[in-house]
Amino acid sequence: MTKILKTGVVGWPISHSLSPKLHNYWLQKYGISGKYEAYAVKPEDLAAFLKKLPKKDITGLNLTVPHKEIVFPFLDEVDDVARRIGAVNMVTRREGRLFGTNTDGYGFLTNLKEKVPSWKATDGPAVIIGAGGAARAAIVSLLDDGVPEIRLINRTRARADNLAEIYNDRRIVVSDWQDRSQKLLGAALLVNTTTLGMTGKPSLDIDLCDLPPHAVVYDIVYNPLETGLLKAARSQGNICVDGLGMLLYQAAPAFQEWFGQNPEVDIDLRQHLLRTVKVIGLTGSIGMGKSETAKMFERAYVPVFDSDAAVHILMAKGGAAVGRVEKAFPGVRSPDGIDRKRLGSMVFSDGEALKKLESILHPMVSDMRQVFFEKAEEQGHDMVVVDVPLLFETGGEAHCDYTVVVSAPADVQRMRVLARPDMTVTKLENILSKQMPDSEKRQRADFIVQSDQGIRYAEDQVNHIIEKIRTTK
């Protein structure tokens, strides 16, 4: 039996954390047998919680407020990066010992360079607003990268003076809060490391008139994604960087350390984290009743995105994929779009050809799905269904909050499928050989709809699933 690697994030409070949604997305995407959970631990209980890690069989933890600074005495070893930043955000248990490090600086700088490849630390002075833990991570990473000057500004000057004293680097120059707007003159980078501008918090009051047009503006706040600061900066032509990428990139080293996989930070991951509507992945083998179950969700006012229907639209006459598919597979175009039967004869027995087709269609379907999600959110829906025939086989569950498998006994399935025109036993066996066994799908699903007990019974199951998801925090 494969061992499940247990990890998680510790904080007080912790319900706001996106880390479980982030790490569990990667676990599903890469098919890793692991678990990442949120642990609400009071500051006074942190030491006792860490002592219990071996008993709980927890391999690693991320730390968030208020534990990053107070955890030092409870660890066996802390690296130089964490000591310089003055905070630990990652703990790993190795051979009974606890090792602490900090990946916030890495996340801060990697996000900046990924979003603005042309930016260089040597471009000019950086203005940092704030003097907390995030400011420390930004200061250390920028100093190490060669920034010529850091203009450090905080509402309470004493805290900024204290940071400058700790780092004892002549490149750090502390200024008064009332001078914050004037200190933007000649700057190449402006960074807000405070909570000002976050949803429910006061806005950051700063005049950007003296900020050069070539300067980059970086706000570590990601709720909202476009803060007032970024909106003002964008309106005058500055390049803007939001804070979500910092969260994603700081998580990557921890995931690689614990699970041995260097995870990809891409647009699908960002969309997954930003999405507020809950996504239900609906799947089931041929003949199980998936299409009828999708209609039951629609009758319960849950919008359904049909992946197969999306592919049909893309490859129909005038479809966005027609030209690219024809170019990749000459001769498959017809007056009505792509001849799917002719295309199928080319790709379904050729693994490389199938991958080529998927590389064309999958991004397009993903874009259509994202538009569908956004429209559902605008209309006030709290959940949607994504109907995907090969959900588990293609790793599609990574994009879902819940999975539902429609199932029936094998003899019922066989009877249903063989009743279809042009279906034969050989064809059925060939189809089933390319699908994950129903028993495995059932095991991996969050919910199961049994479709052989009549429409009313199945509809009751669907309604129960909707209610369960709606009442689950």
* Phi, psi values for residue 41, rounded to 5°: -130, 125
Q: Give pLDDT, residue 2.
A: 57
Cα 254 from Cα 460, distance rounded (Å) = 42
Helices (H), 241-350: 244-259, 267-274, 290-299, 307-315, 322-328, 340-347
**Contact between residue 70 and residue 46 where contact means Cβ atoms under 8 Å apart:** yes
DSSP assignment string, 11-42: ESS-TT--HHHHHHHHHHHTT--EEEEEEE--
For the chain (length 473 residues), average pLDDT per consecutive 10?
81 82 90 88 94 93 91 96 95 94 96 96 97 93 97 96 95 96 97 89 93 96 88 95 94 96 92 85 93 94 92 92 92 91 83 86 85 85 90 81 93 93 88 88 92 93 92 73
**Contact between residue 221 and residue 231 where contact means Cβ atoms under 8 Å apart:** no
Q: Where are the beta strands (DSSP E) in 335-388?
A: 337-338, 383-387
- Per the listing, tokens 């999975």 go with 403
Active site residue 295: no
Look up residue 45 and give its amino acid.
D
Decide: residue 334, CB within 10 A, 0-12 exposed, 13-18 middle, 19+ buried.
middle
Cα 57 from Cα 7, distance rounded (Å) = 9
Q: Give pLDDT, residue 170.
A: 96
Tell me the C-alpha to C-alpha distance, in Å, between residue 460 and each of 20, 302, 387, 471. Answer: 31, 15, 19, 17
Q: Domains of the chain (ranges plus CATH)?
A: 5-100+257-268 (3.40.50.10860), 106-242 (3.40.50.720), 276-303+381-473 (3.40.50.300), 311-372 (no CATH)
Cα 110 from Cα 124, distance rounded (Å) = 18
Q: What is the dihedral of CA 42, 47, 52, 53, to 10 degrees?
A: 90
Q: Give pLDDT, residue 1.
A: 47
pLDDT in tens, 91-126: 999 998 999 999 999 999 999 999 999 999 999 999
Q: Give pLDDT, residue 345.
A: 85
Please say whether the dihedral angle defined by the alpha carbons of residues 251, 253, 257 and 263, taken in this order, is positive or negative. Answer: positive
Under 8 Å CB-to-CB from 162, ≥6 apart: which residues?
131
Cα 162 from Cα 174, distance rounded (Å) = 10
Distance of CA 33 to the CA centre of its chain: 18
**Contact between residue 365 and residue 387 where contact means Cβ atoms under 8 Å apart:** no
Give the Cβ contact number of residue 361 at 10 Å: 19
| Among 63, 110, 395, 145, CA closest to 248 | 110
**Contact between residue 97 and residue 119 where contact means Cβ atoms under 8 Å apart:** no
Look up residue 418 and give its amino acid.
L
User: What is the side-by-side strand order in the sheet with 5-11?
Assistant: 34-40, 5-11, 58-63, 90-94, 97-101, 77-78
**Contact between residue 117 and residue 96 where contact means Cβ atoms under 8 Å apart:** no
Q: Which of 29, 68, 183, 441 is catalytic?
A: 68
Q: Give pLDDT, residue 473.
A: 61
